[in-house]
Amino acid sequence: MIVGSGIDIVEIFRMKDAIEKWGDNFLSKIFTPREIKYATARAFPHQHFAARFAAKEAVVKAFGEPKKFPIRWTDVEVLNDKEGKPVIEFHDDAAKLKNKKKVGDVIISMSHSKNYAIANVILLKSKK
């Protein structure tokens, strides 16, 4: 059973501009150290940051009620498994919300081009 779904698209140039304008302060407010390490190791890091931001936004949209259940950007961490497939790790308030809403599996898909990054998230009900 689906608990919620969310989708988001980000213009790459907007992510690049934000990083250039606010630098490490911006990065550390939005991304975890592991996300920063991953993206900065890539040839086009802004695309990877934008895709991860879109994924975080999609998670927030999938949960719904962001004013009722606020979470920090860094509470939603977008990583990759050994095969490169994106996965979500929830921390702190996001982990509490995941448990409250009885979310089990999370299906995530991300993609990016030169100009745009997009992410889609589906939250599935826990089987317990």
What is the pLDDT at residue 65?
A: 86
Question: What is the per-residue pLDDT across 43-69, written as a single tens digit (0 to 9) for each?
Answer: 999 999 999 999 999 999 999 988 888
Enumerate the H helices of the chain as residue ranges.
12-30, 33-40, 45-63, 92-100
- Structure tokens belonging to residue 124: 């599935």
* CA 27 – CA 48 distance, rounded (Å): 12
**CATH fold of 2-125, please?**
Ribosomal Protein L22; Chain A (3.90.470)
Per-residue DSSP letter, 75: G
Mean pLDDT of the chain: 96
What is the pLDDT at residue 17?
A: 98
